[in-house]
Amino acid sequence: MNYTIHFCSKLSSAFDTVMKLAVETASEADYATKIYTSQSYSPFSSIMLDIHFIGSAKKKAIEAVLDFDGVYIGKSVSLYISPKIIDIAYDGLHYWGIAGTLFKIIGDLSPALITSYLLKTNRERELSVFKQFSLKSLPLSIQETLALMQKEAELKS
């Protein structure tokens, strides 16, 4: 399966770390990745990274927005995840909560790399938030949308 995920965030070191780990995780699972960035207008502006996780030669991809800081203002998309949607406060730890949901969308990725990174760097609070969200189910409506998209993608290919 292929995925196109738009990662939106304010610039922060936690977001940067999450992105690096996500790309490494994907390549461990044999996904090819292509990363595109959007223009940013000031040193404080928010950014968007479009990452294509290419797992098959099929043309169809599941598209989702992972909005770490509630900064997405583009066209509405069916699969949209933000701290508000998964019910987590914007307290800095939320980057790891949203990171956890990536593993719910791309089911065949393993959270082991992130878990071991957080363990190694003694980030217990981050680890517990990450575990919570990578294990917990997504909100029901999102689960349904995702299932529908997966079905469609399989049919079309």
Partner 1 sequence: MINTTQALEEYIKNLQFSCVYAEKSFPIKVESNILSSSREAVEYLISSAVVGNKAAGFFRSLPPISNLRDTRGICVFVSLELPLNFSIPIFFCRDAATLLELFPRALKTSQDANTPVQIVLGANALHNYADTNFRIPDLDRLTPYIQSDTFTNEVDRELKNKKLSADYKDLSALLPMEPFGETLVFEDPLLSFPLYLFPLNIKEQRDLFKGLRLINTTNSNKELFHYFLNDLLNMNIRIETEIQARQTETETLLCPGCPFMLFSSYLSFTDYLVFTSIPCAAVEKKLGFSLITLHEYLGINFKRLNRQTVYIGNLSELPAAPIPSGGDYHFIFLKDTDIETTFPIPRLPYKLKQKVDFIFPYTCNNVKRYSRLKVNKKKCRCKDDPTCALKTACPAFAPGEEYVFINEELCTGCRACVPACQYKALS
Q: Which residues would be at the binding site for partner 1 (CB under 8 A)?
A: 6, 8-11, 16, 19-20, 23-24, 35-50, 65, 69-75, 77, 84, 89-91
Least spacing, CB of residue 23 vs partner 1, in Å = 6
* Shortest spacing between CB 89 and partner 1, in angstroms: 5
Q: Give the sheet arrangement for strand 32-37, strand by strand.
A: 32-37, 46-54, 2-10, 61-67, 80-81
Residue 148 tokens, joined? 């529908």
Q: 75 vs 156, which CB is nearer to partner 1?
A: 75
Query: Which is nearer to partner 1, 77 or 135 (by Cβ)?
Result: 77
Q: Which helix (H) or strand (E) holds 48?
A: strand 46-54
Q: Which is nearer to partner 1, 12 or 154 (CB)?
A: 12
Give the C-alpha separation, 107 to 136, whole Å. Answer: 13
Residue 41 Cβ, how far from partner 1 at the closest point, in Å? 4
| Type of residue found at 92 | G
Closer by beta carbon to partner 1, 70 or else 139 = 70
Give min distance, CB of 63 to partner 1, in A.
Answer: 9
Sequence-separated (6 or more) residues with CB below 8 Å from residue 32:
53, 54
